Structure 1
Amino acid sequence: MSTPHSTAVTLVLVYLCWARGQVCRGEEVSRDEEVSSGDTGKRQVLEALKTGILSSLGMDQPPVVPQKASQEELWEMQALYQEKLSHFGLNSSQNNGRSTVLLPRTVLKLSPGPRTNLRRRPLHWHRAEFTKIPSIQEELSLIRAQLYMSRQVLKRAAPKVKVHIPGSKSTKRAMWTDITANGNTTQSLVLDVSAEVQKWIREGVGPFVVDVRHKGADYSFNISLKLTHDRKISRTTRSVKEEEDCDERDLCCRQSMTVSFKDIGWTDWVVAPLEYTMFFCQGSCPHNYKPASMHTQVKSRLAQISKAGISRPCCVPAAYEPMVLMHYDSHGKLKLTPFEDLIVSKCHCA
């Protein structure tokens, strides 16, 4: 018997076949037809994915979160999140495609400095502290480190913030940008802190400290640190990847697409991962190519010689990898939901 989660994943895969024009009907879809779908096809895939995830969580619409979890609750859930990934034999870098997301251990409000001009809007300082986790090693090859921040829209708050990292020589400035999804508007910003994080990984013994300054109305914000890095690929992993890489022959293979929860407007209720790599199976299935079973070989042969309209085998998933979602539920509570058969790891013809 299938679980609600696997049922939802099946729904996603059915939609994927429909959106990519890959319905198993014994017809080949040309490369020109596939390319012509373009952005429309990608939007259809993302809509199918959103529908499948919401359905698996028992929701019709993304939840409205009236109040975010405290920093202590976020830290505790982050620890459970890492444990859950370890339980599935994953780490956060595998789960969202070579990235590790850190949530701050604490976010403290600092005492403002002296106010020299009564006409100036008051200054507010907040300090976020990030702690290393076991998956961050000294030999980690960092490609990029980004600081993600988001807040509810505030009319009286200044549109700019300043970010200072103690020990660095410069102060970074950024503007909030609006993100509208499902009728709700939030604001977010992303800052590159690669040099500072690399120094912290190499030399730091304490937490990674980020000081945020803003003017006008005081407000709370969500903040996270995303580390993108190289991942050592074992010989076994490399051979599987080479087998799954698509080529110009248009045969059954595994294709990929990056899904960003920010781009689809879900960062107000999905905490981690920030993004992940979604795979799907696509391509033709000529006779005896990646057959799933002896039955597939017989079916393929019958499709060649029969005039009764027997359909040929279709390119479908052969194996999956799990993904763990940290999110708010319909009651505004932070929780973890594993999807054990969401990410396709291998394709075959069946």
Structure 2
Amino acid sequence: MRAEAPPPGVDLTEAPFELPDRFKKAVIDKLYELEWRRYPALRQPEVKEKVASFFGIDPGAFLLTRGADEALRLAFQHAGSRGAALALPDPGFFGFLRTARALGVEFDHYHVPGELPSASLLRLPVLCSPNNPSGHALSMADVQGVCARSEGGAGPLLDLTYDFFADRPLHKNLNELLSFGVISCISFSKSFALAGARVGMLVATPEIIEEVAEKNDRFGLDYFQLAVLDTLFDRRWDRERESMVEWVRSTRSEMVGILSDLLPGDALGPCQGNFIPVHISGVPDTFVRDLVEATACKVHPSSELLRITVNDFSLAGIRKLRSGPALAR
């Protein structure tokens, strides 16, 4: 069984590191002790209690999901079931559009940055912070402003896939977000190097969680996914989780410094995720090609953006560009 390596130009913003062997062994040890012939328990109070403790929320205010994709699908389904349309960010994550179309949920777009849509019982704004691919991060005041302009107690859907890397992470305020009526999707793929495990969560009021859970698969996460979460949120791994996020922030800072020397002053977008957005309008085509080749970054032609993932490969590539003769300035 092999992992899929993205070809040049199709980088997947995966984590730049692998979890240590001792973490994997701890997961395998948990799996070994389980009876695989039995279905997983429908409720997982011990695992949920660990996750709830980490985020400081009630165990009834979230649903463990198979990655953020499932959390998004469930939230979109919930909106569609009550006749609501979606307001999607542009530019935004391609998965928003794909999921909305697959479910047959109506949608329109709002522009990022500069436009913060309001919510109603018939319109669910989808916010992403930091936004993929533009990098713009929202503040609590921004989210509160969206909620204040909304009607009927409806709140937006907030995708926090890249939030752990932000300077002011919103996931540390989940209880306050819940009080605003916000529904949040959280992924552990990018922040904790678990894209292959497919684990995430949907955070909402207990009433919404109960309603969504009734429409979800009866047996959600399998034993492997549950063992991963049970291990990840054990207090013994606190430092490991923190160090992974710190490495990305530190490496991102170094990469931003190098790119600032290579590119025109207005080319770099906000850098709050595990990727760096580069506006290529005004950057020589030859340098854009060199940058894509050096970093295997993803090109967003419609928004004239490059999305460079923070990892050792990209760092080495831009270091090499810095030592070469051709600069974009």
More strand by share: 1
Larger CA Rg, structure 1 vs 2: 1
Instruction: State the TM-score bracket (shorter-chain normalisation).
Output: under 0.3
Q: Which has the higher contact order (CA 8 A, sep 6+)?
A: 2
More helix by share: 2
Q: So what's the TM-score if we normalise by structure 1?
A: 0.24
